[in-house]
């Protein structure tokens, strides 16, 4: 094989290999992308029905309930605006506490409960998962916005009277 | 006073680094011997002053000088001495200082051990390393000074997370950094060769041992991190595809490609510009890894926004290093001609294929790690890439890799006959496939293609590697260390793959609710929960479970997992108990107390998990053996004469 044709085959081989790798990578990638949603997003119907996703927020005080004789736990997660129920079977992380920020991975069941495969709390007690912190802030902003709109509307209504 | 000395020494080191990066370059351009000879002394002086600065920070940690903010944030009065010393590199500022110290040390090592290098090349190499150092020292002085004081000084500092108080984790960052920074030597040699405008194979010859030893450190560093996670995190996992892990894995993958590509360039003079590109990439990823792990960008992209100077500096530095070296590459590499000729079926082709595979792997990790950050930075949502993506990618990539690893090393340079090796290789391939695919039948009476292929791959690599060693030993009694190193490292890959395959396929992980007196059977081991008791440690109290392990009617061991509460902390911490043997680990961790004295409990059976670290250790030792080769050093000495001649031709031209 002369140099030119050798190079052609070489380039072809590399392009071929890289394309196969890219197709496989993109397929695997697409299937394993996990989006994060806050309870407000979930209530607004933004979260997917069948696909897995992550949800995060603060564990509501007094909401943690254990089923007897099993490892199933149920608790509520909130972004201070909306609240949703999470169910998990297994051992919770050390840093799981009421009032603490957590991130759960799983999907919605038919009854509107989020069934988690994994519950994460970060390894630092002062630390809030960044997604949760942002979700709380977003929910707060939304609430403020609504309140402001309401106030403005009332002001307009009163003015027209 | 001493912290000020440290700060001052850092400023002096910065000034020296500037001289080190400018003067020898000018000297090399003008061929001025006086300026060229400035390279070595400035490198030594810079090391001295960075060393003083580092010693000052360590001193502040040892004597509990909480007026230094960094010390107050990362240590306290009850912290044991060893964790005060390792506390220096516990966070951003100090780890940058450690980085700078290791860089200065590598620079001095190059200056001392490469006496045979042509002076002009040496001047350029040391200058390039000086530039990197200048960047780091400036970053520290202007944005991340570890010597910043606070007033009034607190009486006690913050406690270091107890999780981090582990000897494995204490030496993990220095090992990683030795690897990251070690790649700067290959980078500096490559850039120096580009600056000189003559990209012959000599630079590969000189930078090869440095790259190999850096790679060994990186391998060990990553393995230590994985070992720590397995022992301490309470999950029993050995790799999480966490962005922090990926940040160290990417330079490793490209570095592995680099040490193989350097072999082609050194031995046969091929892929010269490609190897330069790899050297640049490996070091750029090392820099990138250091920054993204320590700057907080992984925790949140918006960490950049809270401290814009750091973010801007890091971006600027990366752009200068990556962009500058690539621009230089684009400008100079066009004139490079590879004179080596080889055919399709040759060692050169095999090594090229190796490079393609490793770069594909690095690309897959890069996409999985960076995509969520990019999406977040543009405000397009919070996403994460699940583990299965990485697992799938690496399972697929390992098939061609293991096949190549079995065949490549026995193929001759320039060109070979497929028929010459086909007989041996195909027998071993068929044997490995048959045994590998049959093994799952014996283990659990059912076919498992993925597991079978993994086992076959490990077996194939082990067999071909040993066969190669045997035939080499028959030819001559003396085995060169470089060759022994290669065999050792490749055999390590086989051990590693066997460990991963068996652990992933046959481990048993159970989350249980257990009452005292109850028992549970996994994989032929009966775990009998006897009950819990209170235990008092040095700075914690714990609930300790007593679990007896019975096998075939005999008691074979006991496990004592704990739930610790450290003094001054609210949250409990899991301390797993592991019964370790060569062929399997039994792992128990306790969750929380349920009603009636029952506990939630996590029990694992992990077959061959130890082989994962054993394999990594063999790879590390392989690298060290390869560098220790006596003949190799002699070869450098005799060849560097030619290099000298070439260099003089080059400068007079």
Task: Give the confidence band of A111 by pLDDT, cuts at 50, 70, 90.
Answer: confident
Domain boundary among B415, B444, B472: B415
pLDDT digits (tens, 9 = 90+) for A52-63: 898 888 899 999
Instruction: Looking at the structure, tell me whether residues B185 and B143 fall in a common domain.
Output: no
Contacts of B164 (CB under 8 A, 6+ apart): B83, B90
Q: What is the ipTM of this complex?
A: 0.77
Which of A18, A36, A97 comes nearest B383 by C-beta?
Answer: A36
Instruction: Give B367's Cβ-side CA count (13 Å radius).
Output: 19
Q: What is the pLDDT of residue B302?
A: 53
- Does one domain contain both B325 and B354? yes
Please tell me if residue B571 touches chain A, with a CB cutoff of 8 Å: yes
B95 and B187 co-located in one domain: no
Residue B651, pLDDT score: 33
Rounded distance between C-alpha atoms, residue B526 and residue B516, angstroms: 14
How many A/B residue pairs have CB atoms within 8 Å?
A: 95
Nearest to B605 by CA among B478, B462, B508: B508
Does A19 touch chain B if contact means CB atoms closer than 8 Å? no
Residue B74 pLDDT level (bands cut at 50, 70, 90) = confident
**Percent of chain B's residues with pLDDT above 90:** 53
Which of B398, B415, B432 terminates a domain? The answer is B415
**CB of B602 within 8 Å of any CB in chain A?**
yes
Convert the pLDDT of each residue in A84-104 to its tens digit: 999 999 888 887 888 888 889
Position B595 scores a pLDDT of 80
B220 has a pLDDT exceeding 90 = yes
Task: Using the 3D structure, point to which of B364, B398, B415 is the last residue of a domain.
Answer: B415
**Does A25 contact B343 at a Cβ distance shorter than 8 Å?**
no
Asked if A91 lies within 8 A of B385 by C-beta distance, the reply is no
* Contact assignment for B302 to A130 by CB distance below 8 Å: yes
Number of domains present in the structure of chain B: 4
pLDDT at B645: 38
pLDDT given at position B631: 55
3-class DSSP state for residue B565? strand
pLDDT digits (tens, 9 = 90+) for B623-632: 999 998 875 5
Question: Which of A73, A148, A133, A72 lies closest to A102 in space, CA to CA?
Answer: A133
The interface residues of chain B toward chain A in range 312-341, judged by CB-CB distance below 8 A, are 341
pLDDT at A128: 64
Residue B26 and residue B105 share a domain: yes
Domain that holds residue B436: 417-504+616-653
Average pLDDT value for residue range B464-481: 90
For residues B430 and B410, state if they share a domain: no
- B567 shares a domain with B490: no
Q: Are residues B246 and B211 in the same domain?
A: yes
What integer pLDDT is reported at residue B493 of this predicted model?
97
Per-residue pLDDT tens over the stretch B42-70: 999 999 999 999 999 999 999 999 999 99
Asked if pLDDT for residue B428 goes beyond 50, the answer is yes
* pLDDT tens digits, B236-291: 788 988 888 899 999 999 999 999 999 988 888 888 888 999 999 999 999 988 88
Cα–Cα–Cα angle for B437, B438, B442, nearest 5°?
135
Which pLDDT score is estimated for B540? Answer: 84
- B592/A91 touch (CB, cutoff 8 Å), yes or no: yes
Give pLDDT, residue B301: 53
The answer to whether B601 touches B512, Cβ cutoff 8 Å, is: yes
Contacts of B233 in chain A (CB under 8 A): 123
Burial degree of B137 (CB within 10 A; 0-12, 13-18, 19+) = buried
pTM of the model: 0.89
pLDDT (0 to 100) of residue B380: 75
**What is the rounded CA–CA span in Å between residue B61 and residue B77?**
10
pLDDT band of residue A125 (cuts 50, 70, 90) is very low
Lowest model confidence (mean pLDDT) among B31-45, B208-222, B538-552, B557-571 = B557-571
Residue B555 maps to which CATH number? 2.60.98
Claim to verify: residue B446 and residue B583 sit in the same structural domain: no
Task: Identify whether residues B132 and B179 lie together within a single domain.
Answer: no
Identify which of A132-146, B568-582, B600-614 has the greatest average pLDDT. B600-614
Higher pLDDT, residue B622 or B205: B622
Q: Are residues B571 and B629 in the same domain?
A: no
Claim to verify: residue B373 and residue B465 sit in the same structural domain: no
Provide the 10 A C-beta neighbour count for residue B130.
Answer: 28
pLDDT grade for A8, boundaries at 50, 70 and 90: confident
Q: Judge whether B535 is closer than 8 Å to chain A, CB to CB.
A: no
Whether chain B has a CB inside 8 Å of the CB on A5: the answer is no
Nearest-CA distance from A3 to chain B in Å?
A: 9
B183 and B281 housed in the same domain: yes
Task: List, for residues B547-576, the tens digit of each pLDDT value.
Answer: 999 998 899 999 999 998 887 677 788 888
pLDDT value at residue A159: 61
Residues B161, B164: Cα–Cα separation, whole Å: 5
Q: Which residue of B has its CA nearest to A71?
A: B513
């Amino acid at each position: 094989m002369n140099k030119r044709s050798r190079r052609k085959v070489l380039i072809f081989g590399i392009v071929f290999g890289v394309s196969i790798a890219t197709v496989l990578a993109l397929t695997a990638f697409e299937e394993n992308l996990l989006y994060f949603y806050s309870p407000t997003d979930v209530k607004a119907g933004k979260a997917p029905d069948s696909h897995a996703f992550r949800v995060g927020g603060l564990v509501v005080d007094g909401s943690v309930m254990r089923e007897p004789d099993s490892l199933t736990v149920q608790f509520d997660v909130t972004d201070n605006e909306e609240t949703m129920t999470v169910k998990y079977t297994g051992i919770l992380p050390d840093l799981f506490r009421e009032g603490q920020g957590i991130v759960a991975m799983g999907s919605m069941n038919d009854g509107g409960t989020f069934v988690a495969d994994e519950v994460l709390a970060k390894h630092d007690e002062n630390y809030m998962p960044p997604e949760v912190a942002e979700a709380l802030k977003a929910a707060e902003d939304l609430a403020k916005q609504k309140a402001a709109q309401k106030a403005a509307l009332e002001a307009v209504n009163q003015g027209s009277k | 006073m001493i912290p000020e000395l440290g700060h001052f020494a850092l400023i002096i080191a910065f000034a020296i680094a500037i001289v080190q990066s400018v003067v020898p370059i000018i000297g090399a351009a003008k061929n001025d011997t006086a300026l060229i000879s400035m390279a070595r002394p400035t490198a030594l002086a810079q090391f001295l002053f960075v060393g003083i600065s580092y010693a000052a920070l360590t001193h502040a940690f040892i004597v509990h000088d909480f007026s230094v903010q960094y010390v107050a944030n990362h240590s306290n009065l009850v912290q044991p001495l060893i964790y005060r010393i390792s506390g220096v590199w516990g966070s951003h500022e100090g780890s940058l200082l450690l980085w700078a110290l290791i860089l200065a040390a590598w620079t001095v090592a190059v200056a001392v051990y490469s006496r045979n290098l042509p002076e002009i090349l040496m001047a350029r190499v040391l200058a390039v390393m000086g530039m990197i150092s200048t960047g780091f020292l400036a970053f520290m002085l202007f944005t991340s000074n570890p010597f910043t004081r606070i007033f009034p000084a607190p009486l006690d500092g913050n406690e270091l997370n107890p999780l981090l108080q582990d000897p494995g984790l204490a030496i993990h960052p220095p090992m990683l950094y030795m690897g990251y920074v070690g790649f700067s030597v290959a980078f500096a040699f490559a850039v120096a060769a580009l600056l000189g405008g003559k990209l012959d194979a000599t630079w590969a010859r000189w930078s090869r041992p440095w790259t190999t030893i850096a790679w060994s450190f990186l391998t060990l560093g990553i393995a230590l991190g994985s070992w720590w996670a397995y022992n301490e995190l309470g999950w029993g996992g050995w790799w999480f595809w966490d962005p922090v892990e990926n940040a160290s894995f990417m330079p490793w993958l490209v570095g592995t490609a680099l040490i193989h590509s350097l072999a082609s360039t050194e031995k046969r003079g091929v892929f010269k510009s490609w190897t330069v590109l790899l050297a640049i990439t490996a070091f750029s990823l090392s820099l990138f890894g250091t920054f993204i792990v320590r700057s907080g960008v992984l925790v949140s992209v918006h960490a950049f926004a809270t401290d814009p100077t750091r973010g801007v500096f890091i971006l600027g530095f990366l752009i200068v290093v990556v962009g500058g070296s690539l621009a230089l590459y684009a400008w100079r590499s066009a004139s490079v001609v590879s004179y080596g000729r080889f055919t399709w079926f040759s060692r050169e082709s095999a090594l090229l294929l190796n490079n393609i595979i490793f770069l594909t792997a690095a690309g897959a990790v890069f996409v999985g790690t960076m995509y969520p950050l990019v999406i977040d930075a543009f405000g397009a949502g919070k996403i994460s890439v699940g583990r299965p993506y990485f697992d799938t990618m690496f399972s697929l990539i390992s098939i061609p890799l293991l096949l190549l690893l079995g065949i490549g090393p026995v193929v001759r340079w320039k060109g070979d006959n497929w028929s010459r090796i086909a007989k041996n290789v195909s027998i071993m391939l068929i044997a490995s496939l048959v045994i590998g695919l049959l093994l799952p039948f014996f283990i659990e009476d059912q076919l498992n293609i993925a597991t079978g292929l993994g086992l076959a791959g490990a077996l194939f690599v082990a067999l071909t590697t040993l066969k190669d060693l045997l035939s080499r030993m028959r030819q001559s009694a003396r085995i060169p260390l470089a060759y022994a190193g290669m065999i050792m490292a490749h055999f390590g890959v086989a051990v590693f793959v066997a460990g991963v395959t068996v652990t992933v396929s046959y481990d048993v992980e159970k989350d249980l609710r257990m009452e005292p007196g109850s028992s549970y059977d996994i994989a032929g081991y009966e775990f009998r929960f006897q009950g819990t008791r209170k235990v008092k440690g040095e700075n914690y109290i714990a609930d300790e479970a007593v679990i007896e392990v019975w096998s075939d009617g005999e008691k074979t061991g006991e496990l004592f997992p704990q739930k610790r509460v450290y003094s001054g902390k609210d949250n409990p911490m899991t301390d797993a108990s592991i019964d370790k043997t060569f062929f399997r680990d039994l792992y128990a961790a306790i969750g929380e107390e349920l009603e009636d004295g029952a506990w939630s409990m996590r029990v694992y059976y992990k077959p061959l998990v130890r082989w994962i670290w054993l394999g990594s250790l063999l790879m590390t030792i392989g690298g060290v053996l390869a560098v220790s080769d006596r003949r190799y050093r002699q070869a450098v000495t005799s060849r560097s004469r030619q290099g000298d001649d070439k260099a003089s031709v080059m400068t007079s031209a």
